[in-house]
Amino acid sequence: MLKNDILSLRNLSAKQILNILDLASNLKEQLLTYGANAKYLEGKILGMVFQKPSTRTRISFETAMLQLGGNAINLSFNDLQLSRGESIEDTARTLSLYLDILMARVYDHSDIEKLSENAKIPVINGLSDLFHPCQILADFLTIFEYKRKFKDLRLAFIGDGNNVCNDLLLGCPKMGMDIRVATPIGFEPLDWVTEIARENAILHNTDLLITSDPVEAITDADVVVTDTYISIGKENEHDRREKIFLPAYQVNSDLVQHAKKDFIFMHCLPAKREKEVSSSIIDGFHSVVWSEAENRLHTQKALLLMLLRPEFYNISGLSD
């Protein structure tokens, strides 16, 4: 079987994303209706490597594997010989001897690339400094549940041009959504990601805007997304970043007046209330953050199934 990896949404075509969302929706309905999923992954083992702390990623992946009949092994950095100097390449080769699939949450994206290049089993990026594909798949499922479409929607991302922003740029044009990103000058998303996004926007006839003006970005938005501007590993930049991002890039009642009246608000969590978002927004009527968090479970089930049981869909390779 061809080894497929999910390192960013660049690895997925629009059709493959829709297949994942369709399968995730079916699995979610099955779980809610019957209280269980069929044991599709019985005998399969997921290894989870964590360099960063995790709540949603660890618990949703572990629960997903267990509910599908498989098992999951949690491996923190200190549990592995990585902490004593073994190379990532040798770690990947070793884990491939015991596991069926690997998910890693890392600081440096080059680490997930090394795992992918050297592992003989599928590798999923649970989060890196550059990309967060699992989160954006859950976001797309949430958007569809609330808006019942993708085409002609406008998504506004307000804040740091980080991993979430990068994968939204890679994914939104493929889904037929316009995307507008507002970041302070110097905090824009990756140039090469923006270039790919612009190419996809032309291909799919969608609008893409990168600006430093949050009002320009959020005007007439159907979906408003933000994230912390102090990611893990950036704590030493706290004071500098806070002066740059606040108050202009806080999603609050004043800013969202420019969005559509029926907009939905999303945040990957954990959120810092009264920092990147006000309590009135994240805890308010427009917020869908808890549906978004729940959908991590269902989209990750779909990913695991499609990588380990490719007969669910005819996948010849996960690439554009």
Does the active-site annotation cover 132?
A: yes
Active site residue 257: no
- Catalytic hit among 10, 56, 58, 105: 105
User: Helix or strand or coil: residue 6?
Assistant: strand
Which of 167, 227, 241, 267 is catalytic? The answer is 227
Count of alpha carbons within 13 angstroms of residue 290, beta-carbon side? 5
Contact 276, 227 (CB under 8 A): yes
Q: Is 105 a catalytic residue?
A: yes
Active-site residue, from 67, 180, 268, 300: 268
Judge residue 141's burial from the number of C-beta atoms within 10 Å of its C-beta, 0-12 exposed, 13-18 middle, 19 or more buried.
buried
Question: Among 10, 56, 58, 132, which one carries the catalytic annotation?
Answer: 132
Q: What's the rounded Cα separation, in Å, for the pair 242 and 258?
A: 23
Using an 8 Å Cβ cutoff, are 46 and 100 in contact?
yes
Calculate the dihedral angle through the C-alpha atoms of 130, 231, 173, 290, rounding to the nearest 10 degrees: 130
147 C-beta neighbours (distance < 10 Å), count? 16
Residue 283 annotated as catalytic: no
Sheet holding 45-50, edge to edge: 71-76, 45-50, 101-105, 123-127
CA 237/CA 263 separation, integer angstroms: 32
165 has catalytic annotation: no
Lookup result for tokens 């019942």: 148
CB atoms within 10 A of CB 31: 15
Question: Helices 14-34 & 289-308, crossing angle to 10 degrees?
Answer: 110
Angle subtended at Cα 156 by Cα 150 and Cα 162, rounded to the nearest 5 degrees: 110
CA atoms of 147 and 264, how far apart (whole Å): 9
Is residue 309 among the annotated active site residues? no
β-pair type (123-127, 101-105): parallel
Catalytic residues: 105, 132, 135, 227, 268, 296
